[in-house]
Structure 1
Amino acid sequence: MDSAGTAGSSIAGRVVLITGGGTGIGAAVAERFAAEGARVVVAGRRIGPLKEVAASIGGLAVEMDAADAESVKQGLATILAEHGRLDVLVANAGGHGFSSVGDTDDAAWEASLRANLTTAFVAARESLPALIESRGQIVVISSLAGLFAGPSVAGYTVGKHALIGLTRTLARDYGRHGVRVNAVCPGWVTTPMADAEMDEFAGHAGLESRAAAYAAVTADVPLGRPAAPSEIASIVRFLGSGESSYMTGSVLVADGGAHIVDLPTVAFDHAGM
């Protein structure tokens, strides 16, 4: 039976920490958990957006660099002093890494891995004592880039792939302690980071709008559209509740079906065959 209770589904009263909680998927996850009565903590390096999210949901904003152990320890101390426990960690913080291997210098490589991998590793490691005590959950936000390689995104792709390895090793080692760890791999989601990519892509491709860019990058996706952040938040909520009580080490793909497409046959589609 999951720690969420006999029904296994309620998240009311649970303490949820979301790294990178100020925008995009993180903010949507915060809203979803708060709507069901969870005590939500949004954390990140930019306190302004965090305070806005926290104010809108009645949560707590904590300025914290998820890749820095001392910063995470201080953040957790604040959370435990305020709420007395931690039930769910959503390791959502991430960053860029958009260049090929040959064009990625040492500083850019280290920065990308720090943003996309070290943030989850450090936040998870420092949260483990509290999560073991509560028999809690970790939800790692990876990406479709954690399963496949896009063009010239070396640091991002490697970091997101490594997050799946981190998910599995945490699940393997800490399942006996009652901690469940699962990952989510979203495809295109209409977040501020993706919006910026679409704006850049639209300029290069001669497209008239951001919407046209999203339509272009999802043209061969079975559902034919990007996800809204709230759609990913629903999956995270499931993994952070007792409804997923016998799942650990799992990787859930939420990409509109992109991963099932056989690329060599896409040309047949375009030819109307």
Structure 2
Amino acid sequence: MSQLARFADKVVIVTGAASGIGRAVLVRLVSEGAIAYGIDVNEAGLKETVELAEKQAAAGGRASFIAASISDEQEVKRFFQQVVEKEGRLDVLVNMAGILRSSQTTETSLAQFMEVINTNLVGTFLCCREALPHLVKTKGNIVNAASTSVYFGHPYMAAYSASKGGIMSMTRSLAWEYIRQGVRVNAIAPGGIATPLAAAQNQRMDGLDQSLFMHMTRPDQLFGQPEQVADVVAMLASADGGFMTGEVVKIDGGVHN
């Protein structure tokens, strides 16, 4: 784990922190001194994340969690208020929460489509909206989660791809809207990363044309690790990324070059 202290005394909110990339990000930032709050609907997973983070904590870093849904406007308002009232500030928002539902487009109901849009895109919007007034005060920053699906065709993922495309566009719009107020807004676009989300998708691939997925994986079938994505998030959210805003950084092991 890093011996850096780039987030000492920084207050951070990480959504989707119960597992996968969100968990790895929270653990990484706490290891660099962050006062980090994990947000997720999975309370048991959040507790595990906090335990892992506390083992790696350094430079005054500490971890807490608030179980909440980012697609619920009132819950989003509540947890932002809780964090700012307790800590007095907010420096970084990392939006990693998201869901994926793979299916033939003609078999995707409107309810299924909207479930993905509401969690991934609307949830990211709500968190950004609530965070921005606080980040203006601290000259803080946001890191959102897009996907390589915003650049390349990912079959059976119409809702997911649409949500991630919206996140990419929103990231760039917010970056320019707040550039004079000193708030940076960037995003990452992970490809094949070994997460519970990816594993769940693989279990739902029966009956789908497997050949359409070949352009999405490396020849050696190697998947990236959540910690490798967390490395990039930590850079973007720290002073090391201080001259970056409106960027969407691809992290896919070279698959989509």
TM category, shorter: 0.7 to 0.9
Q: Distance in 2 between matches of 1:205 and 1:100?
A: 10
CA spacing shift, 1:197–1:110, aligned 2, 3 Å: closer
Alignment of 1:26 onto 2:30: no
Q: Distance in 1 between matches of 2:18 and 2:233?
A: 16
Tell whether the 8 Å contact from 1:97 to 1:154 is kept in structure 2 after alignment.
no
Q: Distance in 2 between matches of 1:41 and 1:138?
A: 14
CA spacing shift, 1:94–1:14, aligned 2, 3 Å: same
Tell whether the 8 Å contact from 1:218 to 1:225 is kept in structure 2 after alignment.
no
Q: Note the C-alpha offset of 1:18.
A: 0.5
Q: Give TM-score scaled by structure 1 length.
A: 0.83
Tell whether the 8 Å contact from 1:69 to 1:126 is kept in structure 2 after alignment.
no
- In the alignment of these two chains, the number of paired residues is 243
Q: Note the C-alpha offset of 1:92.
A: 0.8
Q: Residue 58 of structure 2 corresponds to which residue in structure 1?
A: none
CA spacing shift, 1:71–1:177, aligned 2, 3 Å: same
Match of 1:131 among 111, 135, 145: 135
Match of 2:251 among 231, 254, 268: 254
Task: Give runs of aligned pairs for residues 204-215 of structure 1, distance below 5 A.
Answer: none
Q: Residue 230 of structure 2 corresponds to which residue in structure 1?
A: 233
Q: Residue 171 of structure 1 corresponds to which residue in structure 2?
A: 175
Q: Distance in 1 between matches of 2:168 and 2:126?
A: 15
CA spacing shift, 1:109–1:179, aligned 2, 3 Å: same
Q: Distance in 1 between matches of 2:221 and 2:149?
A: 18
CA spacing shift, 1:204–1:166, aligned 2, 3 Å: closer
CA spacing shift, 1:204–1:152, aligned 2, 3 Å: closer
Tell whether the 8 Å contact from 1:146 to 1:159 is kept in structure 2 after alignment.
no
Q: Note the C-alpha offset of 1:197.
A: 2.5
Q: Distance in 1 between matches of 2:163 and 2:215?
A: 23
Structure 1 stretch 80-89 or stretch 117-126: which is displaced more? 80-89
CA spacing shift, 1:241–1:112, aligned 2, 3 Å: same
Q: Give TM-score scaled by structure 2 length.
A: 0.88
Q: Note the C-alpha offset of 1:101.
A: 3.2
Tell whether the 8 Å contact from 1:20 to 1:44 is kept in structure 2 after alignment.
yes
Q: Residue 146 of structure 2 corresponds to which residue in structure 1?
A: 142
Tell whether the 8 Å contact from 1:222 to 1:256 is kept in structure 2 after alignment.
no
Give CA deviations for 1:194-227 in whole Å, capped at 9, x if unaligned: 1222344489899xxxxxxxxx968962775110
CA spacing shift, 1:219–1:160, aligned 2, 3 Å: closer
> Amino acid of the residue matched to residue 115 of structure 1?
T
Structure 1 stretch 181-190 or stretch 40-49: which is displaced more? 40-49
Match of 1:47 among 31, 43, 48: 43
Match of 1:118 among 119, 122, 137: 122
Q: Distance in 2 between matches of 1:193 and 1:183?
A: 19
3-state SS of paired residue (1:258)? coil
Q: Distance in 1 between matches of 2:16 and 2:69?
A: 9
Alignment of 1:196 onto 2:200: yes
Tell whether the 8 Å contact from 1:218 to 1:226 is kept in structure 2 after alignment.
no
Q: Note the C-alpha offset of 1:146.
A: 1.9
Q: Distance in 1 between matches of 2:64 and 2:132?
A: 20
> Amino acid of the residue matched to residue 38 of structure 1?
A
> Amino acid of the residue matched to residue 7 of structure 2?
I
Q: Residue 67 of structure 1 corresponds to which residue in structure 2?
A: 71
Q: Note the C-alpha offset of 1:99.
A: 2.4
Give CA deviations for 1:220-244 in whole Å, capped at 9, x if unaligned: 6277511000000000000110001
> Amino acid of the residue matched to residue 229 of structure 2?
I
Q: Residue 38 of structure 1 corresponds to which residue in structure 2?
A: 34
Match of 1:12 among 8, 21, 26: 8
Q: Distance in 1 between matches of 2:76 and 2:217?
A: 41
Q: Residue 180 of structure 1 corresponds to which residue in structure 2?
A: 184
Unpaired segments ≥5 residues, structure 1: 1-8, 207-215, 261-273
Q: Which structure: larger Rg?
A: 1
Give CA deviations for 1:96-129 in whole Å, capped at 9, x if unaligned: 2322432222111111101221111000001111
> Amino acid of the residue matched to residue 83 of structure 2?
I
